[in-house]
Amino acid sequence: MGPLSMHASIHPLISPARLRDILSAPDLVLLDATMPLPGETFDPEQRFVEARLPGARRFDIEQFSDPASPLPHMIPTQARFATLAGALGVSDAAHVVFYDQGNAASAARGWWLARLFGLERVQVLDGGLPAWQRAGGPVDAGAPQAVQAAAFRPTPRFRLVAGLGDMRDHVRHGDRLILDARAHGRFTGEVAEPRPGVVSGHMPGARNLPFGTLLDDHRAFLPPEALRARFAEAGVTEDRRVITSCGSGVSAAVLSLGLAICGRTGDALYDGSWAEWGSTPGAPVETGPGRSAVS
C-alpha cells in the first residue's frame, strides 16, 4: 500500500502452530487481554482461571487505563503502563503475544497499547484461545502462579493515537480517512448507543467498517488480500493516512491491526472514540448511511 506500507520487523499475527513451536522461549510472555464488549456478559477473570495458555498472565484492559478519566479505558500514563507491565514480567525486550477468549477486539487493544508504549516484538494469537484449543494446544487451569517482575522502560509512539483536538481538525479539513468499527445501526444512528449521555450517529466524513467484517466465522483474521479488498471498499488508499474509531477505542484496534497486517504504518487510533465525540458539546454529528462501506 504505497509509502505507508513498510513492513514491521515482526508480523502482527502469530498462528497457534507457530506459537506452539516457540512456547518454551525464555523471553516469551503470553497475555490474556479479554474484556467483554457491549452486549457480552461473561466474567473474563473466571474464564482465565478455567482455561488459559500455559503460563499466561492476565492483562486487564481496565487496569491498563487512566483511572482519573470519566471516559472508558482511555490510555494510561507512561508510568502507569510501565508499572503494570513490569509487574506482569514484561520487559521492553520481551516477545509478547496477546490473545483473548474469542472476541478478537480485546487482544487487538492490548497489541495496540503495547506498541503505543514502545514494545517492538508484540503479536496477536490469530483466533485467540478458541483457535488454540481447536489446534490441540495445552491449557492451564486454576489459580495462576506468581511471576517475577521485570523492568519496562516506555518509549511511546504518540503518532499512533489521536485525541479530540486532532479529530476536530481532521473532520474540519478532511485530511484523514476515519474508519468507524461500530455496528452499522450505531453508525447511522438507527440504534441507540449503549452508554448514557452519548448521542447516536457518526463523525462527518467517516466511513463505516464494522470490525467483524475483517474476521472469519472463527473470529480469526481474513487473509491479507481479503483484508486489502475490505479496506479498499471502505476508501483506504495508498496516499491517505487512516484513523480508526469505534465506541470506546477497543474494537477500533481490530481495524488498526488489520491495517498493520496489510503492511501499513503511520495510521492512528482515536482513543476517546464515539464515547468522547458523542458526548462532547458542539462536536458535529451526522446520521444516516453517510459514506458507509458495509451494510
Annotated catalytic residues are: 246
- Round to whole Å and give the CA distance between 70 and 63: 14
Task: Encode 84-103: b = buried (16+ Cβ within 10 Å), e = exposed.
Answer: bbbebbbbbebbbbbbbbbb
- Round to whole Å and give the CA distance between 121 and 179: 26
**Residue 92 forms beta bridges with which residues?**
none
CB-based contacts of 142: which residues, under 8 Å, 6+ apart?
A: 49
DSSP state letter for 163? -
Residue type, 80: R
End-to-end CA distance of the chain: 25
Which of 181, 220, 209 lies closest to 13 in space, CA to CA?
A: 220
From the CB of residue 168, how many other CB atoms can be counted at a distance below 10 Å?
16
